Amino acid sequence: MPSGRNATSSLDPLIRFEAGDILGGKYEVIGSLGSGWEGQVYLVVERATGIERAAKFFYPRRNPRNRTLIFHAKKLHRLRHCPIVIQYHTQESHLRDGYQLTFLISEFVEGEILSDFLKRQPGRRLQPFEALHLLHSLASGIECIHTMRDYHGDLHVDNIMINRRGLGFDVKLVDVYRWDPPHRENIQEDVFDLIRLFYDSLGGRRLYAKQPPEIKAICCGLKRSLIARKFRTAGQLRQCLERIHWESR
């Protein structure tokens, strides 16, 4: 999937597949879902069942001795009870040009990347109440990860999958990145990222001065010291959103 890290400028030909290719004798490639710093993701169909899945291949240079793949599989499994996390199924292998490629199979999530969703909105932004609903969905999902004593570490508009459901949003994290053990600083960084996403979804700096006080009370002018004092975890941010009192105007 697209990544916030410096995306590779050229795709690795070793893991470049076309529609109709068969992977490991079990999966047929439907098409590409995207590529990023770590690898490429394909929409595949399980030949035995007809069920659509996502297959992620890691660039060999990013995956020495399958360390990156194993890290992802274990982290997704550990966080499997968090609804915001894509469900990992299994790992498979595929022989390509004499090289044994290992890849991850996970659920296929329909929707669109948040950056694309925002581009389709009037003015390329959300209205305050829409943005609040989006932030609440994201904060609730990240809260579950924090409760599991873990963190994401790289939240941005290109690694969040979104589906609009009435007033709310179904959101999924496209990927997980960080290797470091979770610390308070890591969890706080997730909170900064959530509020930055909220700020940007509202139009960012060019429209911030016109936002109502309730919105500014959440964004805190993007001042990290103020945000850290007010929201130490995604759970505290979620609780704040559920208690917002709107002044009559």
CATH for the stretch 13-107: 3.30.200.20
Neighbours of 157 (CB within 10 A): 19
Q: Within a 10 A sphere around the Cβ of 6, how many other Cβ atoms?
A: 8
Task: Name the percent of the chain in helix, strand, coil, to the closest 5.
Answer: 40, 25, 35
Could you tell me where in the chain the CATH 3.30.200.20 domains are found? Answer: 13-107
Instruction: Name the segment(s) of the chain with CATH classification 1.10.510.10.
Output: 112-242
d(CA 137, CA 114): 13
What is the reported pTM? 0.88
Cβ atoms within 10 Å, residue 34:
19
pLDDT tens for each residue of 149-204 = 999 988 999 999 999 988 789 999 988 766 677 788 989 999 999 999 999 999 99
Structure-block tokens of residue 6: 């410096």
pLDDT tens digit sequence for 196-239: 999 999 999 999 999 999 999 999 999 999 999 999 999 999 99
- Please name the residues in contact with 146: beta carbons below 8 A apart, sequence gap of 6 or more: 187, 190, 233, 234, 235
C-alpha 58/C-alpha 35 separation (Å) is 10
At 38-95, the pLDDT tens digits run 899 999 999 999 999 999 999 988 899 999 999 999 999 999 999 999 999 999 999 9
Does CATH place domain 112-242 in 1.10.510.10? yes
Tokens at residue 150, please?
Answer: 């873990």
